[in-house]
Amino acid sequence: MDTAAVNSFIPTLDQIDSWYEILTVLPILISLELLLSADNAVALASLTKSLKNAKDRSRALNLGITISLVLRILLIILSSFLLKYMFIRILAGTYLIYLFVANFINQLSDNNQNEENEVKDDNRFIKIVALLSITDLAFSIDSITTAVAISDQYILVIIGAIIGVIALRFTSGIFLRLLDYFLNLEMAGYVAILIIGIKLILNTIFTEVFLSDYYFYILILISFIWGFSKRKD
């Protein structure tokens, strides 16, 4: 949901004549991005949690989100060509649903191996960075599609993406700490991944049916409330 915050402000930004006026709008954009990046942040923090070392978690978030930003900018630049194809949005939604299912199966099987060697730890770090990059990109496809449909001023859309990534890194760090205190928050993050994946697929396939985003956001809010409902002793 992160870059979606900039969408409602694009008509206003189109009429801005000076950088001074843009600077007056940016604090509002940043505030909105901090609020709307919560679902993405919990999801990314949940993916990073499997790394044992706190320093590795921070490095993975920095690398993964940076790579994702580069991919977002490329997607924005090539959006007039790439986003014409429905299968890209469906593929992104399917990937997010797969992440939820894979995590759910792992939770049921409880195959947590604590005897990995350093090579496996290195492989896990690379895997987590790749997962973070792809997952954040999948999250951003819907909002990028909406943003470029509203405005053809790609610079403004890219500014919105950069603000979203900065907000996302900040909120991900917060939620990464909160995961150590709330038992259900990690699963709530994966539930948010599932909801966004379903939203992407439904809004792509059933384009003739109006499906308000508010329904999905309410479901995500409910999952967050459940995520914070049980605190660790």
Greatest alpha-carbon pair distance for the chain in Å reads 60
Domain boundaries, the chain: 2-227
Cβ neighbours of residue 76 closer than 8 Å, sequence gap 6 or more: 144, 147, 148, 154, 157, 158, 161
What would the two tokens of residue 98 be? 């797969």
Q: What is the DSSP letter of 6?
A: G
Phi/psi at 182 (5° precision): -120, 125
Each residue's pLDDT tens digit, 146-167:
666 655 667 777 777 787 788 7
Tokens of 145: 């599609």
Structure token digits, residue 113: 């191996």
Question: What are 67's two structure tokens?
Answer: 């790579």
- Taking all residues of the chain, what is their mean pLDDT, rounded to a whole number? 76
Which pLDDT belongs to residue 3? 44
Structure tokens, 229: 């409902």
Under 8 Å between Cβ of 224 and 182: no
DSSP annotation of 233 reads -
What confidence score (pLDDT) does residue 83 get? 63
C-beta of residue 138 within 8 angstroms of C-beta of residue 194: no
CB 37 within 8 Å of CB 173: no
Q: Measured between alpha carbons, how far is 66 from 74 in angstroms, rounded to an integer?
A: 13
Tokens standing for 33?
A: 């991005």
* Residue 47: other Cβ atoms inside 10 A: 27
Cα-based torsion angle of the residue sequence 59, 60, 63, 67 in order, rounded to the nearest 10 degrees: -170
Residues 33-63 pLDDT 10s: 555 567 788 888 888 887 888 888 989 999 9
How much is the pLDDT for 97?
92
**How sure is the predictor about 226, in pLDDT bands with cuts at 50, 70 and 90?**
very high
Q: Average pLDDT, stretch 98-119?
A: 68
Rounded CA gap, 79 and 117, in Å? 42
Residue showing tokens 């930004």: 13
Q: Which residues pair with 231 in a beta bridge?
A: 182
**pLDDT higher than threshold 80 for residue 135:** yes
pLDDT band at 26 (very low <50, low <70, confident <90, very high): low
